[in-house]
Amino acid sequence: MIRFSVNINKFATLRNARGGNNPDVIKAAIDCERFGAQGITVHPRPDERHIRLSDVMQLKEAISTEFNIEGYPDERYLKIIREVKPAQATLVPDGPDVLTSNAGWDTIRNQAFLKGIISELKMTGARVSIFVDAQPQMVEGAAQAGADCIELYTEPYAREFHVSPEIAVKPYIESAKVAHSLGLGVNAGHDLDMQNLHFFAKSVPHLSEVSIGHAVVCDALYFGLENTIQLYLQKLKV
C-alpha cells in the first residue's frame, strides 16, 4: 500500500487569514489520521505564513502516524529537526521568498552541502528525503549524498497529464527505477490530485508515499474531509 501523507499547511493558511484558531490545525491533523491518512506533512517557513513553530511542537505530541517535516536546511530547520525528531525530514531547495516549491535540488552541484546536512540529520534518527526533479542523474546524486529516499517533484507531471498521461509519467517511471536500483525509497508530491493520482500510482514502480495538501483542502470543500481522504486512499489502490 502506498502511504498517504496529508500536508496540512493549507489548514494553517486558512486559520492565519482570520486570526484565532479556526480551523484548529492540530485537530485537523488528528482528524486526517482518524480518517485514514498514514502520515502528516508540514513545511514550516521562516515567516510562519502557514505552519508555525508552535504548531510543529504541538503536532509532535499529538499525532500518532508518520511525521514528515519539509524545509530548506538552514540552521532554523536543522534546529526544528533536532528538537522534534520526526520520522522523516524532506529537504527542499527553495528559499524563504519562494511561494511554494517549484524545482528539485541539483544534487550534483550541491553534493558536498547535502552530504553534510544529511549526515547531521541522520543523527536525529530521521529518514532523510531529497526533493528532486524526475531526472536519473539527480536521483543518482541523492544516493551519493547519502539520502534514504527521494521525493519526486510532480508539478511537471500534473501539468502535462491532461495532454498525454503516458508521456507525462515516463520520466517518473525511469527515475523511480533508478532510485530503487540504488536502494532509495520513492516518494512523490506537488500538484497531485483526484484526477491524476491513480494513473501516477499505478504507473510508477516502487512508489512508497505521496504527500498532498492543497488539492485535499480544495476537494474537502465539496466532499468533506473524511470522504476526501477516503477517496484519495481509493486512488492509491493499485
Quickly count helices (H) and strands (E) in the chain.
11, 8
- Whether residue 106 contacts residue 138, with contact meaning beta carbons closer than 8 Å, is answered with yes
Task: At 237, list the grid cell.
Answer: 489502490
> For 101, which DSSP code?
-
3-class SS of residue 20: coil
Q: Tell me the catalytic residues.
A: 43, 70, 190
- Dihedral sign of CA atoms 45, 35, 87, 62 in order: positive
Instruction: Quote the CA–CA distance of 164 and 168 in Å, as a whole number.
Output: 6
C-alpha cell at 46: 521562516
**Cα-based torsion angle of the residue sequence 221, 190, 171, 98 in order, rounded to the nearest 10 degrees:** 140
d(CA 207, CA 237): 12
Helices within the chain (DSSP H only): 9-18, 25-34, 53-62, 75-84, 111-122, 136-145, 155-161, 165-181, 197-203, 214-223, 225-235
